[in-house]
Amino acid sequence: MTIDTKQLAKMIEKLNVAARLHDVAFFMQEGEVSRVQKIQSILEHLDAGVYLVGAGPYSQGIYSLMCDEIIVGRLATVTEKPLGRPVDIFVNDAAGLTPREVSRVHCAIYRREGVANHDYWLIDRGSTCGTFLNDLKLESPTSEEAGEICRVSRALSGGDVISLGSSLVNTFLFTDLRA
């Protein structure tokens, strides 16, 4: 039996479109009030701390920022070689089986000790489509020197919106629930 890859690709595309349309319909059917109540209930169950809350369709989840650095990115596709670098938060940006905006190592959130009120910082890690903080594109560092890292990093505050790429599809909300 011969596999017709063109026919398979068309079938996959049709299923992909149908699944996305059904997902949006299901999402909208529930209603905003119900969704807000569920999210509020979840947030009330979290311990005091700092979290990254995924708000986009490919970044859903609540991630505790309990270590010194968190790398955000995606897995390699079948046509890419693995980088051999760790990623802590994976974004499944592979709509249509190919990534759109998220680089494998896209950005990092790191903690700086002793900096008053701003102990979490965001840095782009050379992403292709950019890292945005509250709609402002971050610069990528040109070197790993401490001064350059400080120059391009941006302090994070509760309620900041982080977008991987400019479309606002892959978004996170920096959430500070410390007392």
Q: Give me the domains of the chain, ranges plus CATH numbers.
A: 48-176 (2.60.200.20)
State how far Cα 117 lies from the chain centre. 23
pLDDT tops 60 at residue 114? no
Residue 149 is predicted with a pLDDT of: 94
Q: What is the dihedral of CA 67, 144, 53, 173, to 10 degrees?
A: 130
Task: Give pLDDT tens digits for 5-39.
Answer: 889 889 888 988 888 888 888 888 888 888 889 98
Task: Give pLDDT tens digits for 47-91.
Answer: 999 999 999 888 888 999 988 899 999 888 878 888 888 888 888
Residue 118 is predicted with a pLDDT of: 61
Q: 136 and 168 in contact (C-beta within 8 Å)? A: no
Residue 56 is predicted with a pLDDT of: 85
Please give the model's pTM, rounded to 2 decimal places. Answer: 0.85
Q: 141 and 152 in contact (C-beta within 8 Å)? A: yes
Residue 133 β-bridge partners? 136, 162
pLDDT tops 70 at residue 175? yes
Give dist(CA 166, CA 134) in Å, integer: 11
Task: Give pLDDT tens digits for 121-174.
Answer: 999 999 999 999 999 999 999 999 999 999 999 999 999 999 999 998 899 999
CA end-to-end distance (rounded Å), the chain: 64
State how far Cα 104 lies from the chain centre. 11
Residue 115 is predicted with a pLDDT of: 55
pLDDT tops 90 at residue 41? yes
Half-sphere exposure of 15 (CA within 13 A, CB side): 7
Exposed/middle/buried for residue 73 (C-beta within 10 Å: 0-12, 13-18, 19+): buried
Average pLDDT in the 36-43 region?
91
151's CB contacts (< 8 A; 6+ apart) are 139, 141
